[in-house]
Structure 1
Amino acid sequence: MTEQSNPGRVNRELVTAAYPELPGKVAVITGAARGMGASFAAGLARRGVHVVGGDINAEQMADTAREIQAALAAEGVTAPGRVVAAAIDVTDADQHDQLARRALTEFGRLDFWINNAGIFPFALIEDIAPEQISAVLEVNVSGVLYGAQAAARHMAEGGAIVNMSSVSAVRVRKGRGAYCTSKAAVAHLTESLAVELGDKGIRVNALAPGYIDTEMTRWVREDPIALAHALDSVPLHRIGAPEEVFGPLLFLLSDSARYVTGHAIAVDGGSRHV
């Protein structure tokens, strides 16, 4: 059965790419308790990368860390990375530094920082409240800046930062004005960080996912009209999976991307071109 004859299919096959330089390295991931953040943590740990997963929901983060370790053990993964859970409110700059120090305390190094935490509010333009725009900019933009600052203070030359932008940075969606604005800011902030942190030998890139099957976008699959619209706007005619965002992330962290910085890689099934 082809993808087009089964448009509701989500491809959750594990990414098979392996980079032999990654085992033993250390990554910090914010918003790692669920969704793409949890998928990133599991994928990196499967490849021997140690992970400090931070989330505002400390209890859920601890559960996720245990579940990842148990799943890797059940799979018989050889020498997996260790996943450590930590609490973080990404709107607090000091807590990012605490997360970085946790990585150094637990593992003695910090190689990668993934600014994944974000919120996805809905409101038509005339209804966007001051509280909503302030919250989305604090979490989605300031949280990225604070994370990058902490990474730059504690990361050695050769490190890599990956921010989560979105196809919404270049495509407008009704009711998501605050969110789209924040993700456009992340894309541009990524370029600024890349220019300034290049002096430290730190690369900074972003991922720009489209419709990905996570809790944040589950409403799309549950609404037939929204799902039909989404599939019409995706040339591959299916919703993406977190595992399919992990592949480009893995590349950006690897030595294969050692001369790639300041870019946002779209992982959207081609939807930005429709």
Structure 2
Amino acid sequence: MSETAEPTGPGRVVGTPVTAVYPELRGKAAVVTGAARGMGARFAAALAARGVDVVGADIDADAMAVTAKEIAEEVAGAEGPGRVVAAGMDVTRAEDHEAVAASAAREFGRLDFWINNAGIFPFAEVGDVTPAQIRATLSVNVEGVLFGAQAAARHMRPGGAIVNMSSVSAVRVRRGRGAYCASKAAVAHLTESLAVELGDQGIRVNSIAPGYIDTEMTRWVREDPKALQHALDVVPLHRLGSPEEVVGPLLFLLSDSARYVTGHGIAVDGGSRHV
């Protein structure tokens, strides 16, 4: 992965990282949750551009349908792009995961990859965290990962791969994000448990832990000069990451290059977890 280093604004860099092609991904099938926007949409687009058929699932079914159409147009010029099929899904419902997994297997004749990307990012000081907020956060961010892995494992053959979205917040406290940090710590540990148990089926499970990535979820950082400056100060590379810089590790973890990698988390954070 490489990029230019000329800033175009605070924390930004010019250019798109160059990622490996991984030709073995072509012809495979994947499910990406939370794919209507943000990182999920970029994951779906990157996979489709490399010939992977994708079911993009999101609680906002209408937005997912629009995104699927936009991705199809975006990758139309690629060599043998994969199809993108939109599906509605509430990740807190185990039956929704099963329905999407079964649909993907029927539609594409196989299910090779599952990316548990859907999540919420609530804010509340510790004293203000309500029972409803902590329940919702754990339900979406943790139960959603478990249910997704369960459904995927029922439909995958040996050689399948699951990638969960954790966060550097799993190991670093962020004020006002207690519920979120706890949920991502759970995701990181759950990933290890899933890797041990699903290894019996030849299924690999890993996680990605993004830091400050320039997406809709972190728009608040861009909009708050103090927050942006703090982010740039605590990141050793002194810039925000781009979504494409998370796509590269995802493709690696799904590829044959990582076929002996399971139960691990890759931090994509510019080094911020070390300071």
Task: Report TM bin, short chain.
Answer: over 0.9
8 Å contact 2:8–2:14 — kept in the other structure?
no
Q: Distance in 2 between matches of 1:134 and 1:10?
A: 38
Note the alpha carbon deviations across 1:44-69, whole angstroms, 9 max, x for none: 00000000000000000000000001
Q: Distance in 2 between matches of 1:222 and 1:10?
A: 18
Matched, 1:46 2:57: no
Q: Distance in 2 between matches of 1:82 and 1:117?
A: 20
Closer, same or farther: CA 188–12 of 1 in aligned 2, 3 Å: farther
Closer, same or farther: CA 22–177 of 1 in aligned 2, 3 Å: same
Alignment of 1:135-146 (within 5 A): 135-146=136-147
Alignment of 1:120-269 (within 5 A): 120-269=121-270
Relative to the length of structure 2, the TM-score reads 0.96
Alignment of 1:24-35 (within 5 A): 24-35=27-38
Q: Distance in 2 between matches of 1:68 and 1:110?
A: 20
Q: Distance in 1 between matches of 2:8 and 2:106?
A: 51
SS in 2 for 1:171: coil
Percent identical pairs in the alignment equals 75
Structure 1 residues 156-165 or 7-16, which shifts more? 7-16
Matched, 1:67 2:70: yes
8 Å contact 1:12–1:244 — kept in the other structure?
no
Closer, same or farther: CA 187–268 of 1 in aligned 2, 3 Å: same
Selected match of 1:57 from 56, 60, 74? 60
8 Å contact 1:211–1:240 — kept in the other structure?
yes
Give 1:30's aligned amino acid: T
Note the alpha carbon deviations across 1:2-27, whole angstroms, 9 max, x for none: 45795421456154311111100000
Q: Indicate the residue corresponding to 1:112 in structure 2.
A: 113
Q: Extract unaligned runs of 5+ from structure 2.
A: none
Higher relative contact order (CA 8 A, sep 6+): 1
Give 1:137's aligned amino acid: L
Q: Indicate the residue corresponding to 2:16 in structure 1.
A: 13
Q: Distance in 1 between matches of 2:27 and 2:56?
A: 16
CA-CA distance at 1:86 after TM superposition? 0.1
Relative to the length of structure 1, the TM-score reads 0.97
Matched, 1:37 2:40: yes
SS in 2 for 1:21: helix
Q: Distance in 2 between matches of 1:22 and 1:260?
A: 16
Q: Distance in 2 between matches of 1:103 and 1:22?
A: 16
Q: Distance in 2 between matches of 1:5 and 1:22?
A: 34
Q: Distance in 2 between matches of 1:188 and 1:121?
A: 21
User: Aligned Cα RMSD in Å?
Assistant: 1.3
Q: Distance in 1 between matches of 2:14 and 2:95?
A: 38
Closer, same or farther: CA 38–123 of 1 in aligned 2, 3 Å: same
CA-CA distance at 1:241 after TM superposition? 1.1
Give 1:260's aligned amino acid: V
Q: Distance in 1 between matches of 2:218 and 2:163?
A: 21
Give 1:13's aligned amino acid: T
Q: Distance in 2 between matches of 1:41 and 1:65?
A: 9
Give 1:25's aligned amino acid: K
